[in-house]
Chains A and B, each alone.
Chain A
């Protein structure tokens, strides 16, 4: 009826344009050679870590379950190579949390576990059970178990599926390659999710800086009912869950609520095609496409990496580094995590591996805040970082609550834009920790 919808004036504000750096956009995915050993951590999802279900000396095949979790928020972990369990070690994550890791010496035969057969899926329950068995977690980076995402308590109120192909992080092209290399599988996955969750509308959101992906998916959805490609402005953090929901539907997820509370389920685009592939083959999540880039890498590219492969092995397989990397990142430069050693393994939710030299990673001198307000103006959540910083300095719980710092999703826009090079995002994390500590004390 109208050319502009009810959402035209409800766009989210803020965000930054850090530059694309999509150097690997034309690099087709290559299979990484199977490494001699893999080290598979038992914490690869949000929630309590899994417990190893194998012992030292056990023989495992590709797809053998090696870790299972208790409790609700969990996803099983599978062996990514065939071989023998060499050790079960203590493992320290970059967050300093600890879990176990299963070390497997690969026999390089890649024999398949007998459990790897297409699952029997005929209704919603069996669909969710299959997704749970597949070990799938949000491949966009957060690592939220997908089966929980797909079975919200109020599913009857959900009418919209959003497929997140924004990939707004600079450097990363792993989702983009998925669109180009397997568009049919993406659409197949969309239709499966739509069918079993009984959803009417589906939007696939992709940033405008990926015209090839938009074109190919537009072509594939032609004639399909209820699937629409949405071109999103190229603006970080366009792919953040709350932001993409607001951009596409105009609905705003209230603080502390989930997308399902506004009738939406959001799924990463690689996760979506993984579901289609799993239902076809029964092959669980044992390998992940990873964008390898950064100013130290000789041959940037996209690699299909067995989960548990050490960063050093990935680097070696793609030609090594021509400069000494001073900083190694899992994920993109805006939200990625620094690792403390290159023996650290690639996990399910790793979508990028970036090697930066001392020049690129150099710490800049932190200067005084001049209260220019740039951080507040780019915050997609509309927060006021300088006031939050001041309130946290004196641990003013009432003021921190009033400033609603818990809405912060740590996207990093505030630190990015700060001309005084202050660690604004870090100070927001500290403020959230203050609130958490205060809440724990109260109980």
Chain B
């Protein structure tokens, strides 16, 4: 008989009984907030088409997740905001001129095939947005590599870039010649050809700093990733600064390689993961037939990350070395 409780019923649960205020949704919301500067930058650089593409990807990613939960009779997981992030990141990997139906196919691949078929949030072994991007890049290579110049919408469609800075740098490296690259300051602000969200390093760095301050992002992966790319290209005399400012390395290092479920958990593991991403990026950029290597580098390291986790266990307090 309980006299203090009129309903005569008490909750019995296991300790602890106090929980931190942070939730999955608030973590994801922070990531969305961190992506806002880059969204604004893409709107300025690539015009309304960019914003439409972002909206299409977000709506279709959330929509596919909602339909999946409905069809599979699962609890609705749309509220955790993770599909919103996948949508934004996928759009960031697309050129502004990409037809909308292709973007919807990319969203389907990201959410249904890469994420949900493997068990949903936390269970996917590669980054959904990168998975979607790679499928699109291999299926619609022409449309996916038609990089418009920044501000192309002001001068007309003829302003398609013949060569991105990445391509130029590869030619320079392989033929040991000198060619003209955009000014560093232009590249930092994003005034260069490329996909939606990758060109403006400034906006991406602002987002990254916000995430570090909010305790959402551990800076080890971005710093080791970018540091490795810089150090390696510096040693090989292959434009280290421009390498960091062009292509998807900034976007990849800050927002995609650091994805929780597909990267190692321990600090040591994160370091190995970041260095591995950097190494593969440089090798692909300088020696393969394609120009861009960030997404392949990250996806390869994603696949390795369970193994890295196994090898880089934390040292257990007072425990034996494993």
Contact = CB atoms under 8 A, between A and B. Distances in A.
Tell whether A pairs with B. yes
Given A338-B11, A372-B260, A415 B16 contact: yes
Nearest to A327: B11
B22 A419 contact: yes
A382 B312 CA distance: 12
Given A361-B11, A407-B319, 13 more contacts: A255-B317, A255-B319, A257-B318, A327-B17, A333-B15, A363-B11, A368-B77, A372-B260, A381-B316, A381-B317, A412-B15, A412-B18, A426-B14
Interface stretch (B2-10, B105-113, B194-202, B248-256): B2-10
Given A387-B309, A425-B16, A338 B316 contact: no
Listed from nearest, the 3 A-B pairs whose CB atoms lie closest are: A412-B16, A373-B265, A382-B314
B216 to A, nearest CB: 9
A221 interface: no
B23 A421 contact: yes
Interface string A408-424: 00101101111111010
B24 A376 contact: no
Nearest to A320: B4
Main secondary structure of the interface of B (DSSP, over half): loop
Given A367-B80, A368-B77, A372-B260, A386 B265 contact: yes
A12 B314 CA distance: 13
A335 interface: yes
Nearest to B3: A312
Main secondary structure of the interface of A (DSSP, over half): loop
A343 B23 contact: no
A404 B313 CA distance: 11
B20 A18 contact: yes
Contacts of A370: 24, 27, 82, 121-122, 260-261
Residue among B3, B121, B318 having the largest count of chain A Cβ atoms under 10 Å:
B318
Interface in A6-64: 12, 16, 18-19
A376 B265 contact: yes
Contacts of B27: 370, 372, 419
Contacts of A379: 314
Contact of A383 (B13, B15, B17, B314): B314
Contacts of B314: 376, 379, 382-384
B219 to A, nearest CB: 14
A371 interface: yes
B72 interface: no
A112 interface: no
Nearest to B18: A333
23 contacts: A18-B18, A254-B319, A255-B317, A326-B11, A327-B12, A334-B16, A338-B10, A342-B3, A342-B5, A370-B82, A370-B121, A370-B261, A371-B122, A372-B260, A376-B265, A382-B314, A384-B309, A384-B314, A387-B309, A415-B16, A419-B20, A419-B22, A429-B14
Residue among A338, A355, A370, A426 having the largest count of chain B Cβ atoms under 10 Å:
A370
A364 B20 CA distance: 11
A315 interface: yes
Nearest to B309: A387
Interface of A: 12, 16, 18-19, 94, 170, 242, 246, 252-255, 257, 311-312, 315-316, 320-321, 324-329, 333-343, 355-356, 358, 361, 363-364, 367-373, 376, 379-384, 386-387, 402-404, 407, 410, 412-413, 415-421, 423, 425-426, 429
Given A255-B320, A382-B317, A324 B26 contact: no
A368 B28 CA distance: 13
Given A367-B80, A368-B123, A335 B309 contact: no
Given A257-B318, A338-B13, A371-B261, A325 B18 contact: no
Interface residues of B, number: 46
A20 to B, nearest CB: 12
B19 A367 contact: no
Contacts of B9: 326
Contacts of B235: none
A12 B317 CA distance: 8
A52 B260 CA distance: 55
B180 interface: no
Contact of A425 (B10, B14, B120, B260): B14
B155 interface: no
Contacts of B6: 324
Contact of A369 (B1, B10, B16, B122): B122
Contacts of A402: 322
Nearest to A12: B317
Interface string B287-318: 00000000000000000000001000111111
A423 B15 CA distance: 9
A312 B2 contact: yes
B265 A371 contact: yes
B316 A341 contact: no
B16 A324 contact: no
Contacts of B122: 368-371
A161 B119 CA distance: 52
A321 B4 contact: yes
A359 to B, nearest CB: 12
A272 to B, nearest CB: 25
B1 A341 contact: yes
Residue among B1, B5, B16, B309 having the largest count of chain A Cβ atoms under 10 Å:
B16
A384 B1 contact: no
Nearest to B262: A371
Contacts of B261: 370-371
B266 interface: yes
Nearest to B119: A368
Given A370-B24, A371-B265, A383-B316, A425 B15 contact: yes
A335 B26 CA distance: 26
Contact of B20 (A329, A341, A416): A416
A364 B19 contact: yes
B291 to A, nearest CB: 32
A16 B20 contact: yes
Contacts of B260: 370-373
Contacts of A316: 3
Contact of A419 (B12, B18, B24, B77): B24
B24 A333 contact: no
Contacts of B123: 368
B303 to A, nearest CB: 15
B34 to A, nearest CB: 15
A416 B16 contact: yes
Interface in B157-182: none
B17 A356 contact: yes
Contacts of B13: 327, 338, 361, 363
Contacts of A383: 314, 316
Nearest to B314: A382
A209 B5 CA distance: 34
A170 B18 contact: yes
Contacts of A418: 19-20
B19 A416 contact: yes
A415 B19 contact: yes
